[in-house]
Chains A and B, each alone.
Chain A
């Protein structure tokens, strides 16, 4: 290379760019992150440093979307990529293609750092935790719709409380972009006013698999949810930052659903107890009522009117007896009189006299009792015991 030749800035920069980019077309670098910034465009800008040096890094959106964790300042990582020179500023940087923590301990350290930070902000404050409703109508679920965790939760809900409706906001629960879909799910469910409780869940896995639940964005979204959130991530032993900001932490997805739902058998038992106990109770009420009633009825006060009634009743009986007696006497007298008169009447019965052979004479409407009353010019009727004979007027003087 001819070093004595006069070069313009652009020319030398071009030569540097070619040299550097050719020589460092594939590098892997270990270092600590500092000054990490995620731009609105989605691109990441940060520095990698050690005790003596610093190098700028960029990671474009198309690549950083494959990173399962969000970088944090102080985290030790290994990046792979190529060196690139940016002529307008005469700067060089690593164009990062992939990134991973420098070791398991790095994630643990990031976890502890975020935990301390959020704790200091008061995001784990027990006083800020919302109560989980006892009888949820709609349970929002954020998890992978095709995952075993969701199936487990469905069967728990079916067994314990089929009255509920599960509203699932499907999310990626591991790998790149998972934190975003989980965060969106929480926000989406919070746009509704009919969700009683949210479960954020994922089955077991490695620390990398569960990492989205250690992301600050997810932990904050859970904290900011107006709807109470239960976290059920991984297994019993797995704790995530989301567990600390959730209103309730469940050891597993199934346990989260158990905490979100009452047990239908408990409700049945409660209702059965109610039926049994309240029936006993009401019988007791009735027994007491009857006892009180009968003691009141047998009290002296209640007996007085009855005694009065009884006395009066006796008086009435006596009077009635007397009245009946007198009436009977009079009826008897009248009966005697009637039979006497009947006899008189019977003794004067005309038919009897006719039977003895006497005859009655009638002219017109009158019975003729004396000769003087007889008119010989009129038609006469002779009445015998056994019939009548008509006699026309004639010369029979």
Chain B
């Protein structure tokens, strides 16, 4: 689940960079520019809220390590 969300964060951020570049490059027409702008602002909000909500998670692999050790010794 998490993987998807975080990938989404990365994707959103990359898209934001892309939009930023597209807007800087004056070749897009007004209609597209407006759509890009709208999309970009929406993405900004999503990213900021993801960052503000984030809390570091820590997982320990100890149990699995022990299992692996047992398997190795067998």
Contacts and interface: CB of A to CB of B under 8 A. Distances in A.
Interface of A: 134-135, 137-138, 145, 154, 157-158, 162-170, 181, 184-185, 187-189, 194, 264, 267-268, 270-271, 274-275, 277-279, 281-282, 285-286, 288-289
Given A281-B37, A285-B30, 15 more contacts: A163-B6, A165-B56, A168-B58, A168-B59, A168-B61, A169-B61, A185-B61, A268-B48, A270-B16, A274-B16, A274-B20, A278-B20, A278-B41, A281-B23, A282-B33
A133 to B, nearest CB: 8
A307 B56 CA distance: 70
Interface in B1-45: 2-3, 6-7, 9-10, 13, 16-17, 19-20, 23-24, 30, 33-34, 37, 40-41, 44
Contacts of A135: 6, 9-10, 13
5 tightest Cβ-Cβ pairs between the two chains A and B: A137-B6, A165-B57, A162-B54, A135-B10, A163-B54
Interface of B: 2-3, 6-7, 9-10, 13, 16-17, 19-20, 23-24, 30, 33-34, 37, 40-41, 44, 47-48, 50-51, 54-62, 64-65, 68-69, 72
Contacts of B13: 135, 267, 270
A37 to B, nearest CB: 20
A145 B3 CA distance: 24
Contacts of A168: 58-61
B56 A289 contact: no
Contact of A170 (B9, B40, B60, B72): B60
Contact of A271 (B23, B44, B69): B44
A168 B10 CA distance: 23
11 contacts: A135-B10, A135-B13, A163-B6, A163-B51, A165-B58, A168-B58, A187-B68, A194-B3, A268-B48, A270-B17, A282-B23
Contacts, number: 109
A282 B37 contact: yes
A272 to B, nearest CB: 8
Nearest to B24: A281
A169 B63 CA distance: 9
A134 B14 CA distance: 11
A281 to B, nearest CB: 5
A259 to B, nearest CB: 17
Q: Is the interface of A mostly helix, strand, loop or mixed?
A: helix
A274 B40 contact: yes
B71 to A, nearest CB: 11
A170 B37 contact: no
Contacts of A145: 60, 62
A188 B65 CA distance: 7
Contacts of A166: 56-59
B58 A170 contact: no
A278 B37 contact: yes
B44 A275 contact: yes
Contacts of A289: 30
Given A158-B56, A267-B13, A188 B68 contact: yes
Contacts of B30: 285-286, 288-289
B55 A162 contact: yes
Contacts of A138: 2-3
A282 to B, nearest CB: 4
A146 B48 CA distance: 33
Nearest to A181: B65
A167 B61 contact: yes
Contacts of A170: 60-62, 65
A36 B57 CA distance: 45
Contact of A285 (B9, B33, B59): B33
A173 to B, nearest CB: 14
A227 B68 CA distance: 19
Contact of A277 (B10, B20, B68): B20
Contact of B58 (A154, A181, A187, A194): A154
A164 B2 CA distance: 10
A135 B9 CA distance: 9
